[in-house]
Amino acid sequence: MCMRCKRPEQGFTLIEVMISIVVLAVGMLALLGSIGFALANTQSAQLDLVAKQLAQQAMESIYTARDTANVTWCQLQNPGPSCPAPAVPATGIFQTGFQPIDLAGADGIIGTSDDSGAQTLVSPGPDGIVGTSDDLVNHLDGYSRSIVFGTNDPETGVTLPANLRVVTITIRYTTPQFKVPKNYVLTGYISQYR
């Protein structure tokens, strides 16, 4: 066998090894980034659930006020628009803009001017039972709520009949991981009729 015919042994060059290390490092960083993002989202899931419950609580308060006739149809709106005479009072009772999450006042309706006292969320402590001495009390300082009544359909822009309004409840809160305000929006319709 001739010496020239024999093929030299082949292996990886230093450049090929370095390129493969860079490719693996990029893949590992992407994997670690996605795991970190998933963990951050998991930790903010409780905050998202609280926002959803606060919006639903406000919507139920509005429906209950209408169903129990605690307020007139003219009062189920934000201040500004007036109802036909002889409606008294002729303007809405719901505050405009983002408001702190307070307990319902004497009227029992969330989002009106008589609301007072910060609402808290009580979670069970280590024993898993609510109402015992180890309960965790969470203050909802990082949350705010806006309740807006409208007369136009939000999807089509068509003016709604006089006996129908759209209610948009927005809960704004900040998650500790992202430091950016998040919004949970609940939209529903309310009719003058029970």
Taking 60 as the threshold, does the pLDDT of residue 32 lie above it? yes
pLDDT band at 167 (very low <50, low <70, confident <90, very high): very high
Strand order in the sheet with 99-100: 99-100, 143-150, 164-174, 181-191
Q: Which of the 8 DSSP states describes residue 128?
A: -
Give the pLDDT mean for 156-172.
Answer: 93
Q: 0.95 exceeded by the pTM?
A: no
Contacting residues for 98 by C-beta, under 8 A, at least 6 apart = 144, 145, 146, 170, 172
List of residues 6+ apart from 144 with CB closer than 8 A: 98, 99, 100, 101, 171, 172, 173
Counting Cα atoms < 13 Å in the Cβ hemisphere of 147 gives 27
**Where exactly are the structural domains of the chain?**
46-191
- pLDDT the model gives residue 2: 60
- Find out whether 130 and 122 touch, Cβ atoms under 8 Å: yes
Distances (CA, A) of 164 to 36, 92, 98, 192, 194: 46, 15, 24, 6, 12
Euclidean distance between the first and final Cα of the chain, in Å?
102
pLDDT tier for residue 10 given thresholds of 50, 70 and 90: confident
Cβ neighbors of 73 (< 8 A, separation 6 or more) are: 66, 83, 163, 192
Bond from prior residue into 86 cis (ω within 30 degrees of 0): yes
pLDDT at site 90: 57
Residue 87 or 58, more confident = 58
Residue 86 in this model has a pLDDT that exceeds 70: no
pLDDT tens-digit map of 40-66 = 777 788 889 999 999 999 999 999 999
pLDDT band at 88 (very low <50, low <70, confident <90, very high): low
Residue 6 has pLDDT above 90, yes or no: no
Give tens-digit pLDDT for 107-152: 889 999 889 888 988 888 889 888 888 998 888 888 999 999 999 9
